[in-house]
Each structure stands twice: as C-alpha cells, then as structure tokens.
Chains A and B, each alone.
Chain A
Amino acid sequence: MHLPDGFLSAPVSTVLAAASFGGLGAAVRRSRPAVDAPVVTPLLGVAAAFVFCAQMFNFPISGGTTGHLLGAALVTALLGPWRAMLVMASVLLVQALIFADGGVVALGANLFNMAVAAPLLAGLVQGLVQRAGRQARWTREVGLAVSAWLTVQLAAACCAVEIAFSGTAPLAVVLPAMLAVHAVIGLGEALLSVAAYRVVVGARPELAGHERPVAELATMELWRLAAMLALGLLVVALAFPYPDGLEWVAEQQQFGHHARDGFAAAPLRDYAVPGRPVGSGFDWFGSYLSAILGAALCGGLMRWLGRAGRQAPDDAS
C-alpha cells in the first residue's frame, strides 16, 4: 500500500503532507507523559523496529496471493493512538528515506494513510467499542478486530481516492479494486492482530497496560480523534473539486466532451484563481496558492485539534 512517486500529483501530495505534519505535530505533543517531560522514546523505538519486522511476515491468502500486517491497529491497542502515530510514522519515514519503499513526494500521503488516519480511526473505534461494552475484557479484542479491518479498508480507500484525484487512474476502477483486495487482507490483519494481542496480554499483562490511554479515553478524546479524522478525510475528498479521474469517467459516460490534455498538466488544471487569466494550460500562481493555502489551513487545524485541552495527560508512565 506504499505509494511510490509518480502516482500522485504535486497539489494532492502537498496538502496531504501538511495534514500529516499537523497530525504528527499533535501526536508529538500529546504523547508526552507530562507537560514538561520528553516523550519516552526507547520503548517506542524498539516498538517501531517490531512493526517494521512484523510487516515482513507474509500470510497467504487463497489464490496464491499474500498479504502482510499493517500493524496500526495492533500498535494502537498496545500503546494508544498518539504513540502509535509516532511509531507508524517513523516506520514509514525509514521505509521511504532509507529503503526506497514508497515515494518521497508521496511520503505525505503515505504518512496520512497509514500513520495518521489509521491510528486515529483505530483509537476511535477501540475507544467506542470499549465504552459500549463497559470496558469488559472482550471489548478490547472485538474493538481491535473491528478496527484492524477498518484501518486497512480506510488506508486502501484513501490510497484509491488520492490516485484517482491525481488523475493517474479513474476512481471507478481503482476504488472497487483496492477495497475488494483489501477486504480480504483486512481479514488477515484482524485475525493476526487479535492473535498477537492475546499473546502479549497473556505473557506480559502489564506490558499491555500501555493500552490504558485507549481504555480511559474521555469523551473529549474521542471527539477530538473523530474531528481530526473527519478533517483529514475531508481534505482528501474535498480539496480537489474536479478530479481528473472523475472527468475521465464522465467522458466515458458521454457526459463531457472536452479534450483531455497532457497527463502532467491535467491534475493542476482546475486550480485557477478567478480573475487571473489561465495561460497555456497551466497556472503556477493559482494552483500553488490554493495548494499552499489548503496545506496551511488543514495543517494548522490538525495541530490545533491535537493541542487543545492538553491539561489531562494521556497516561502517567
């Protein structure tokens, strides 16, 4: 699910990078045990090494294909959503910048899909399920299973929407394909996560005590997670009102008759600022102004949502 470069257009990448950086900034602040204390990095560093290695175990899916663990839901269950964001982000940064797995321009989008949106959704779902079940023991495993499947679906859907809005492939093709494949992979993710979580809780219950942030998430926490997730998804969905992929579908269905111009210029075409003449198919000023404005806006909002109400520390370790 790591998008390489070439699949996403520059504005899509820019806005998603801003959303990711805002979310990660919030995660850095909120994963401090106390206001003045540093983040407890040693445990998180080795946990990140674990996620990196766990992603290498391939499990077979029938038909000869294989899938592998994403790990966002499992790490969220063990460390809480904010720390899980840091762990997943460092894994993705290393994969992109050291091992060339996933693009550099696409890094912001990859971070958003797997290190920001996925842990936020996992924390939200696990918190909601645990609250609905009055914190009973079974709710942790059920919440983990549900959130594991959902995070994989969410990451795949974000991936597909980003590709489509960049004009690389039509949404009507890439979204069902991604969701269908990852419905099965998500099943594997859920089974693997629950089995792994059981082992951790069985062997070292106090290690799994790091899940307390999830279990004790107050109402405020849940709405903040939900707001950040909703904002991020809104960015993915609304920042680009006339995606090239949708235009292609419209063309297929004989709705539109305008000629398709070159691949590279096409995704930026719909960014013209009113009152400024659009030149030969490309408007640097308009497209970059809107991309930068959108980036600043959603990056700042993400940070603010993560920063507000930090009086109650997540946990006391």
Chain B
Amino acid sequence: MSWPLWAQLLAIAACGAAGLTLTRSLFAADATRAQLGLEVSRGDSLLHRTPAVCKLLGLLALAVSAALLPPAGLSVPGALVLLLLVAARLPLRAVAARAAELLPLALIVAVGALLRGDPVLFVATLGRALITVAAVVALTLSTPQPEILRAARRLGLPAPLVEIIALLLRYLVVVLDEANRLALGFSLRAVGPRDLRLARPLGRVIGALAVRSLERGERVHQAMLARGYDGTWPALQRAPAPSVAAWLGCGLFLSPLLAALSYWR
C-alpha cells in the first residue's frame, strides 16, 4: 500500500509493455481464418438448436450478472458457461485462444491488485473477463452468423448497422487475404529500422489496402444495383419470435443466476 506513485506507474507501464510484446509476438503472426474463428462448428446439440435470440439474451444475462455478482458469486455464471461448453461439445481450446488476448491487461491488473494488496480484485476482474469470453465463444461456435444478425435485428439493432456488419463479415476474409498479400510484400521489402520510422511505408501499405477495399465496395454496390438492390435486405429480416418452450428452457437454465443475485445481495 505504501509504494510511491511513480513506482506504481513504472511497474504498471513495464508490465503493460512486456505483456503487449509477449502476446503480440506469440499471437499476432497468425491472424488467419482459423485464428479468427471464422469456422462454425457443425455440431448438433441443445445449444445449437436454441434460437439465436435466446442465446444473445442469455449471453447478456450471463455478462451482466457476472458484473453484478461479488467475487464469491462468480462461480455460478462460470459453472453455467462451462456447462454450456461441455454439453455442446465445443472446443475449449477456442476459449483458450481468445483468453490469451487478455494477457497484457491481466498483467496490468495483477500489478495494480498486488500494489493495493488485494488479490481478490485480480481474480474477480479476470474471472468476469473470462466468463464473457467463454460465453461469446459458446454463442459464435454454436450459431451461424446470419442467425446472430437476424437475432440482433430482432433485438433492435438498426437495420443499416446490421447490413454493414453482414457485409463486413462477408468481405472480411477477402480483404484479409488482400491484407496478407500486402503484408507479405511489405515484410520482404521493408528492411529499415524497426521503430516508428517504419510508420510511413506501413501507412502506404494501409492506404493501398484502403484503395483496394473502397474500390471493391464500389464494385459490390454496382453489382448489387445491377441485381435489383433497392436498399432492402430480405435475407436479413428479423428472426421469428422464439417459442414459449425455448423461453422457458432458457429461463430455467439461467435461473441459478437469479438465485445467486438474490443470495449475494
């Protein structure tokens, strides 16, 4: 508790830098399709068959209750998420890959918690982050992306945003391939000093990517107009309302959260 302020700042900055370097060098290299988790598991389980609207709301309920529960109560949403992952036979390594990106922030929080002499703070913060990560992985690995979009539309996300996201997801792989080609060329050409002076050539590469993307966007727009696009997206209508049985099942599954919230308050 009695560390001077400058020492705290220094320690946190050093840990942040170390954490950033560590994770970037470990995981930034292969930001490929597999790393992005663009594959949807083809499994068939109760979780896979649950309507996406219920799953989105359930994700929200899990995350919010994790934010509200005290550290001791975090075991309830944690156990629920783990149950989901295991019961739906989703790969736990996907959770691990996502969780690895939390490492630099976790280090900073760890140092902060140590300085405050409060290890519970560290565990609770990290636990809450992990619960959300695991819940999002459970959602995305058990739900086709168009389903998620239709559910988001039903839950009130504005139509233009849903359409932009649909196109973002559709063209992400295309632009990513383009970006990888540009990055390969850049890494072969760029032999200069590895510091901020690299920003200008790298900026030109990003500019080239911007030109190619915007041109592709124009072409996509023209092609859609040629096929009769009038600003509406029949494929992205609102999801139908889930059945009563789905709501009941969802509520039953999430009822421990309510119990935990009322117990710890």
Contact = CB atoms under 8 A, between A and B. Distances in A.
If over half of A's interface residues share one DSSP class (helix, strand or loop), that class is named, otherwise mixed; here it is helix
Interface stretch (B79-87, B125-133, B243-251): B125-133
Interface in A1-36: 4-10, 13, 24-25, 28, 31
Interface string A52-73: 1110111111111110010000
B217 A177 contact: no
Contact of B171 (A49, A196, A264): A49
Interface stretch (B42-50, B60-68, B252-260): B60-68
A50 interface: yes
Interface string A137-177: 00000000000000000000000000000001100111011
A259 B131 CA distance: 30
| Interface size range of chain B in the complex | 35 or more
A274 B109 CA distance: 34
Contacts of A173: 5, 8-9, 12, 112
A10 B64 contact: yes
Given A41-B163, A193-B203, A265-B70, A53 B179 contact: yes
Interface in B187-215: 194-196, 198-211, 213-215
A195 B126 CA distance: 38
A5 to B, nearest CB: 4
Nearest to A173: B8
Interface of A: 4-10, 13, 24-25, 28, 31, 37-50, 52-54, 56-66, 69, 74, 78, 86-87, 89-91, 93-94, 96-101, 103-105, 168-169, 172-174, 176-177, 180-181, 184, 187-188, 191-200, 203-204, 207, 248, 252, 262-265, 282, 284
8 contacts: A38-B232, A42-B167, A48-B165, A66-B24, A192-B206, A195-B199, A203-B208, A282-B265
